[in-house]
Amino acid sequence: MIQTVAWFERKFSFDLPLWMYPNVIERLRGTPARLEDRLAALPASTLTRRDGDKWSMQEHAGHLLDLGPLDIARLDDYAAGQETLRAADRENRKTHEANHNAREIADLLRAFRSERKEFVSSLEQFDEEFIKRRAVHVRLNTEMRVLDFAFFIAEHDDHHLARITELIHRFGET
User: What residue spans define the domains of the chain?
Assistant: 17-170
DSSP letter (8 states) at residue 142 = E
If pLDDT is split at 50, 70 and 90, which confidence band does 159 have? very high
**Residue 3: pLDDT above 80?**
no
Taking the C-alpha atoms of residue 158 and residue 163, their distance in angstroms, rounded to an integer, is 8
Taking the C-alpha atoms of residue 82 and residue 146, their distance in angstroms, rounded to an integer, is 12
Query: How confident is the model at residue 174, as a pLDDT?
Result: 65
Query: How confident is the model at residue 126, as a pLDDT?
Result: 97
pLDDT tens per residue across span 14-51? 999 999 999 999 999 999 999 999 999 999 999 999 98
Taking the C-alpha atoms of residue 24 and residue 21, their distance in angstroms, rounded to an integer, is 5
For the residues of 7-35, what is the DSSP string, one character each?
GGG--------GGGHHHHHHHHHHHHHHH
Q: Please give the model's pTM, rounded to 2 decimal places.
A: 0.94
Query: How confident is the model at residue 152, as a pLDDT?
Result: 97
For the residues of 63-97, what is the DSSP string, one character each?
HHHHTHHHHHHHHHHHHTT-SBPPPP-TT-HHHHH
pLDDT tens per residue across span 123-144? 999 999 999 999 999 999 999 9
Q: Which fold has domain 17-170?
A: Four Helix Bundle (Hemerythrin (Met), subunit A) (1.20.120)
Cα of 120 vs its chain's centroid, Å: 12
Taking the C-alpha atoms of residue 165 and residue 161, their distance in angstroms, rounded to an integer, is 6
Check: CB of residue 101 under 8 Å from CB of residue 58.
yes
Which one has a higher pLDDT value, 2 or 1? 2
